[in-house]
Amino acid sequence: MNGIRIGQGLPAGLEQAVTARPLELRQGQVITGRVNKYFTNNMAEIQVGSQKVLAELSTALNTDKNYLFQVQDGDGKLALKVLSPISPVNNDANTDTLLEQWSLPNTKEMKQLTSMLLKENLPLSGEVLSLAGKWMKESADSPKAIDTIKEMIQRELPFTEKVFASLMAVREGSSMNSLAGKLLNELSGSPSVSPKLQTVLKELATGKNIDLPDASVIKEQLQKLLHTIGYSYEHELLHAKTDGGKGAPEWNLLKPLLLEFLKTDAPTHVKELAAALTDKVTGMQLLSQETGPIMQLMLQFPLHFQNHSMDATMQYSGRKTKDGKIDSDYCRILFYLDLAHLKETAIDMQIQHRIVNITVFNKNHEIEPLMKGMIHGLQEKMKDVQYTLSSLEFKSFQEDKLDKPDLGLHKLMPAYYKGVDYKV
């Protein structure tokens, strides 16, 4: 299936706030745009994607055509130099122009990447394309590499190989649960390896089953699990009152323990497993962003249900309250599952004014009548926590554009249902 773009589908009223972030342009970058109107002193309003920028043009241009512009030094003003008109019927000509401009190889992968960035109205530069070309060449999966590079540019993440590797680790197949298990097997019995690292890996790879019936216990278990992985490690390190930070490596958290292990002289193949697991965690941290009052969180963690182990990944999109806390009245939470019986399943939960609408996506239409029998019980459970269930709907993956992403998100279900998996 086609992967969905990370961050798509924000709650109503939030998407506009995210996309309204001002466009940041740097000298040497190339963008596609159209002149909307002219002002005095060669100033013009340029349409770049969904945003408008005010810029000084070196040449008078038609207002009915798209152009390739290069950002110039304008003494404190945004200055644009036209490179060429955009060909609406021959995109190859546009990519060829840029690759030649920057003396970059005119390969199939480079043309695909450049063409995609132009179509998405994303700023690009010779330096960015040169680095991207190197990473794509070294990657075993060019399409995923291209999607990752696009993600980095869209989110304005540092354009470094480490960030690229971390985001690729999120997209690639090995689960956190699997990596933890493999690394634990390699380290078992080694006296030179930190016992704390082995303990944390064992907890992740073969941890206790989540206690489904008790919601308060679930919350406590998940909070402990997320803390153990080290998602908040850097934040805690920043605020820790330790003697010069010397206490940080003593924390029983996966990420700092892995970082310490990577400094050792362990065999290369073992360090590669540790690096892949570290990148998984870092990638999720990079995908969690705050833009003003808007917050997006991506979390992935191993879960164990009824002797079935899987990775769970959750995407939260919402806003913060005035005191900086998550606003639980307005948000959207996406879960993607790969369950033992139902296989690929996605759950989309949207909350507005504490009114909840849930959509379950799956290929198997047989679960639809089962869901109808769960509505009353779910309504009562939500009333207990001051929410109102408005709808519980089934959709096939083929009926909607919401396809399972490369991440594979999982949903925590409150009760076991024999032969089906878990109740909603």
Choose the weakest-confidence range: 101-115, 170-184, 215-229, 357-371. 215-229
pLDDT at 410 over 50: no
What are the sequence ranges of the domains in the chain? 25-86, 90-155, 176-287, 293-423
Asked if the model's pLDDT at residue 2 lies above 50, the reply is no
Work out the number of other CB atoms within 10 angstroms of the CB of residue 291: 15
Contact criterion met (CB below 8 Å) for 296 and 334? no
pTM (2 decimals)?
A: 0.76
Strand partners, 392: 358
Within the chain, how many helices (H) and strands (E) appear? 14, 14
pLDDT value at residue 412:
25
The CA–CA distances, whole Å, from 328 to 231, 291, 387 equal 21, 17, 10
Name the nearest CA neighbour of 235 among 219, 256, 260, 220: 256
Structure tokens at 136: 């794509």
User: What is residue 209's predicted lDDT score, i.e. its pLDDT?
Assistant: 56
Burial of 230 (0-12, 13-18, 19+ CB in 10 A): buried
User: Could you report the per-residue pLDDT of 159-205, keeping only the tens digit for each?
Assistant: 999 999 999 998 876 889 899 999 999 998 777 788 899 999 998 88
Q: Dihedral sign, CA of 214, 220, 226, 232?
A: positive
Q: What is the CATH T-level fold of the domain 25-86, as seen in this structure?
A: OB fold (Dihydrolipoamide Acetyltransferase, E2P) (2.40.50)
Which residue in this structure is represented by tokens 């705050």? 290
Instruction: Write down the mean pLDDT value for the chain.
Output: 80
Compute the distance between CA of residue 234 and CA of residue 237 in angstroms, rounded to an integer: 5
pLDDT band at residue 413 under the 50/70/90 scheme: very low
Higher pLDDT, 136 or 222: 136
Give tens-digit pLDDT for 313-328: 788 899 888 888 889 9
What six digits make up the tokens of 79? 């200055």
**Cβ partners under 8 Å of residue 400, min gap 6:** 361
Q: Is 27 helix (H, G, I), strand (E, B) or coil?
A: coil
Judge: domain 293-423, CATH 3.30.750.
yes
Instruction: Indicate the burial class of 154 (C-beta count within 10 angstroms; 0-12, 13-18, 19 or more).
Output: middle
